[in-house]
Amino acid sequence: MPVLVEKLASLKGDLTIVSPDAGRVKVAERYAMTLGAELAIVHKRRSHSSFNTVEAREVVGDVSGRVCVLVDDMIDTAGTICSAAEQLAERGASQIVAAATHGVFSGPASERLSESPVEKIIVTDTLPLSENMQIGKVEVLSVAPLIAEAIRAVFEDTSVSEIFGGNNLV
C-alpha cells in the first residue's frame, strides 16, 4: 500500500478511490482516507436465474468527472477490474486507473485490459511482468525500498509496522 499510495498521490484531478467489489471496501476506504479522496463502490448482484452470471451492477458514490482509481490486491484475469471500469466509464468518470499490489495477468487479462476504458494500470514488482503485458498502459513500481526498510527495522530491532503506518493491509 505505501508504494501505491505514493504514486497515486501524484495523480491530478478530483480523486475517487473505487472498490471493484464488496470484498475490498475496507482496503479502498483506507486508501481514500490516506489520500484524502472520495470513496465509491461497484456493487454487483448475482443472477438468481442463471449460474455464475451478474444480473446488474451499480456504482455507489458519485464518479462523474472524477479520476477513479480501482484498487485491488491483485489483477488476475482482469474480469472484475474491466467490468467495474466499464461501469465507471458509463457514469462519466474522467479517467480510470487500476492499482494492484500483484499483477498476475493470466488468461485473457492482456486483451481485456487493452480493450477496457482503464487508461493506466499500476502494479508492483512482486511478480514478474509477462511479455504480453508489457503494454503502454502498465506501470510497474518497485517494492525493493520498502522491503529493504523492513529488513533494516528487523535487524535494528525497531518497528516494522511503523513503516506501514501501523496498517498491515495490502
Own/partner pairs for 111-114, CB < 8 Å, 24+ apart? 112/77, 112/78, 112/79, 112/82, 113/75, 113/78, 113/81, 113/82, 113/137
Amino acid 107 reads G
pLDDT digits (tens, 9 = 90+) for 28-67: 999 999 999 999 999 876 656 665 555 457 999 999 999 9
What digits encode the pLDDT tens for the residues 110-139? 999 999 999 999 999 999 998 889 888 999
Q: Which of 7, 44, 120, 137 is catalytic?
A: 44
44 catalytic per annotation: yes
Q: In whole angstroms, what is the distance from residue 31 CA to residue 64 CA?
A: 20
The 10s digit of each residue's pLDDT in 6-15 is 999 999 999 9
Alpha-carbon distances, residue 140 vs 85, 91, 121, 143, 158 (angstroms): 20, 28, 8, 10, 29
Please name each of the domains of the chain with its CATH number.
Answer: 2-142 (3.40.50.2020)
pTM of the model: 0.88
**Alpha-helical regions (H) of 48-132:** 79-90, 109-115
Q: Is the dihedral of CA 41, 15, 165, 120 positive or negative?
A: positive
